[in-house]
């Protein structure tokens, strides 16, 4: 059986995430201490106790979700459960790179904090917006985004059949919401996020990220990584850096990424991290696959008991 580990991105965070696994496992607890040492604040306290307003700040959210994901991954690794392929949704791609041995955990923690700051600085608060469009085909959403009068909007996340997220200038996204509803979308709703990710408004953040990545040594992955920007199996460090830069300002191809993993022989997907958002998406993309989630002690034990 071929196993793919998948790691969640922003939106999966909640106050209390990782607390139970940290108390249950010394190897997980050590990951939180590593994060605190790298970032110079108490990451465990923010994850476990909040406040939510601080945890939801992009430059806090990103390293905190990374930390919880790698804390859970470390337990699976300790138990002898390792993946054949890894991937992550947006921020989750950095967790995947740690799991594949491309980056050290502390490097990734510092990198995701700075990535979050670059993203927040790229678009003044209130100028950008994202929206979820449910029940429409890709081509129709793309066509609507290309026909707007009020500014720039584009597809940002192709999450699964019938679920697309768009991003862009606030007025343009609001216009697109109305047009999608009129064109028959089951639902079109603005998202409560402060940064319009994976679109051209992130070009400045991409340039800053490229400069930062040039200062970090990437190792070749020990196992293939499926990237967001192209939905390809990457096997070299030279491919990964430019892929991460493009990821910020190009659509996130999650549906295609899951299909790539399934086509490469993945029978089992294990979502490793807070929340179960990706598990729900995979059910719609690859319904024949077995899907497990590891987000706390109960789900860890359940997964360990059921994995072949």
Q: Is 90 a catalytic residue?
A: yes
Q: What is the DSSP string of 28-73?
A: HHHHHHHHHHHHTS-HHHHHHH--HHHHTSHHHHHHHHHHHHHHHH
Q: Is 293 a catalytic residue?
A: no
- Single out the catalytic residue among 28, 198, 249, 293: 198
- Count of beta carbons in the 10 Å neighbourhood of residue 12: 23
- All residues at 6 or more sequence positions from 124 whose CB lies less than 8 Å from its CB, including other chains: none
Helix (H, G, I), strand (E, B), or coil: what is residue 252? Answer: strand
Cα(123)–Cα(195) distance, integer angstroms: 7
Contacts for 146-154: CB closer than 8 Å, 24+ residues apart: 147/179, 148/172, 148/175, 148/176, 148/179, 149/175, 150/174, 150/175, 151/175, 152/199, 152/200, 152/201, 153/199, 154/199, 154/200, 154/251
Token pair of 24 as six digits: 């249950």
- Single out the catalytic residue among 12, 28, 69, 90: 90
How far is C-alpha 204 from the chain's CA centre? 20
- All residues at 6 or more sequence positions from 85 whose CB lies less than 8 Å from its CB, including other chains: 2, 3, 4, 5, 223, 224, 225, 226, 233, 261, 264, 266
The residues assigned a catalytic role are 90, 198
């Amino acid at each position: 059986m071929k196993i793919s580990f998948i790691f969640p991105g922003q939106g999966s965070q909640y106050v209390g995430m990782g607390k139970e696994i940290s108390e249950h496992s010394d190897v997980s607890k050590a990951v939180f201490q590593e994060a605190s040492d790298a970032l110079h604040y108490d990451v465990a306290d923010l994850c476990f106790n909040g406040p939510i307003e601080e945890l939801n700040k992009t430059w806090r959210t990103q390293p905190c979700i990374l930390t919880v994901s790698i804390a859970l991954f470390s337990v699976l690794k300790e138990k002898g459960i390792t993946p054949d392929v890894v991937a992550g949704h947006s921020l989750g791609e950095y967790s995947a790179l740690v799991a594949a041995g491309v980056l050290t955990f502390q490097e990734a923690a510092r990198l995701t904090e700075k990535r979050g700051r670059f993203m927040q600085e790229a678009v003044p608060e209130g100028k950008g917006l994202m929206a979820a469009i449910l029940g429409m085909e890709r081509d129709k959403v793309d066509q609507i985004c290309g026909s707007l009068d009020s500014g720039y909007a584009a597809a940002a996340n192709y999450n699964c059949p019938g679920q697309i997220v768009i991003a862009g200038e606030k007025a343009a996204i609001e216009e697109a919401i109305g047009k999608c509803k009129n064109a028959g979308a089951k639902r079109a709703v603005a998202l409560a996020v402060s940064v319009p990710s994976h679109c051209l408004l992130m070009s400045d953040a991409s340039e800053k990220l490229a400069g930062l990545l040039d200062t970090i040594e990437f190792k070749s992955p020990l196992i293939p990584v499926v990237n967001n920007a192209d939905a390809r199996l990457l096997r070299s460090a030279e491919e990964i850096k430019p892929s991460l830069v493009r990821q910020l300002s190009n659509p996130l191809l999650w549906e295609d990424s899951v299909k790539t993993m399934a086509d490469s022989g993945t029978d089992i997907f294990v979502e490793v991290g807070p929340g179960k958002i990706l598990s729900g998406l995979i059910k719609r993309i690859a319904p024949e696959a077995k899907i497990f989630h590891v987000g706390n002690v109960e789900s860890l034990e359940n997964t360990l008991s059921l994995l072949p």
